[in-house]
Structure 1
Amino acid sequence: MALFPRCLLRGVTSQVKNINGLQASPKFMYKSARYNSNTSGVRERTLIAVKPDGVHRRLIGQIIQRFEMRGFQLVGLKMLRVSEELLSQHYTSLCKKPFYPSLLHYMTSGPVVAMVWEGHNVVRSSRMLVGDTNPTQALPGTIRGDFSVHISRNVIHASDSVEVAQKEIALWFQSSELIEWECCDHDNLYEF
């Protein structure tokens, strides 16, 4: 518990704005200058989405915990009911597949929790954490290996490349919904 206050205070500025006579919360300083060429890939981002079956089965916390335990940093999070328009853009490569209508029905059957995670090689590492699309082939210890029951109900989505991640993040999140911040353990994780 002693680390928590130090973590919060680490990047706090002494500037506190006065709004209508009330003091506002201190703002965190962002140290983006610290991400230099020696730490390339540290700020790589990926889209992770807990699909309706994962939300219904109350797996959100366990999924978030796995990404946090890996040392990744959450920079965006929201729960939403996904529109067919967004899904048609997201699954554009699958729209001609025979299972596409059932995929749309499944993805609109309940809320989805969309997240953006940041970290060193986060796209590739996330794919390893998530596991194979087919749960019968997903290794134990992966999210799908531990929680999926059928290929059509595989709990989670993860971007499969850096380029795809950039497109998916732009599709699911506005830039104002993503938070730039540095976690207090950043120097311990990324001292290269």
Structure 2
Amino acid sequence: TRRCPKRTYWPILERFERRGYKLIALKLFTPSKALLEEHYGEHKGKPFFEPLVNYMLMGPVVCMIWEGLDIVKTGRKMLGATKPLNSEPGTIRGDYSIETGRNIVHGSDSVESAEREIKLWFKPEEIQNYKRDCDKWIYEKPFA
């Protein structure tokens, strides 16, 4: 989650929890410019690159890792379109943002991107591996 005002932390967490996904890492911190430039490196040279990095440097971000079946694909649907005004009501961006440069959340666009971004933003010891009793009510087969 990116630059989330306090009013939206918990509703966003709750949406993923209600869906049945498992939170395995969560932290609040202000990222360095170097981290942001690496994260958004594919956009370097584009007109929105510097404004985006500067926006992200304005204060702390909430970083989360969610686990579950098809989390990348389903998570992207839950987030909504990158351009909030194109997002359906009921999506996170559709409900909590208006402008593209302030679209409130980031979600990895592929499993490969997620793996790369997790390594950038989290240390291995910050990621929790645990079982939930409720998973037997969520998944037909054990999810690993």
Q: TM-score, normalised by structure 2?
A: 0.95
Query: 1:79 is paired with a residue of what secondary structure?
Result: strand
**Larger helix proportion, structure 1 or 2?**
2
Map of 1:79 onto structure 2: 28
Map of 2:89 onto structure 1: 140
Task: Spell out, residue by residue over 1:2-35, the C-alpha distance to the aligned partner (whole angstroms, 9 max, x if none).
Answer: xxxxxxxxxxxxxxxxxxxxxxxxxxxxxxxxxx
Distance of 2:100 and 2:112 partners within structure 1: 25
Map of 1:175 onto structure 2: 124
Distance of 1:145 and 1:169 partners within structure 2: 25
- RMSD between aligned alpha carbons? 0.9
Matched, 1:164 2:113: yes
Q: Which residue of 124, 128, 146 corresponds with 2:77?
A: 128
**Larger strand proportion, structure 1 or 2?**
1
Identity of aligned residues (%): 42
Which segments of 5 or more consecutive residues in structure 2 lack a partner in the other structure?
none
- TM superposition shift of 1:184: 1.2
Distance of 2:40 and 2:122 partners within structure 1: 16
- TM superposition shift of 1:64: 0.2
Which segments of 5 or more consecutive residues in structure 1 lack a partner in the other structure?
1-48
Distance of 2:122 and 2:68 partners within structure 1: 18
Map of 1:191 onto structure 2: 140
Q: How many residues align?
A: 141
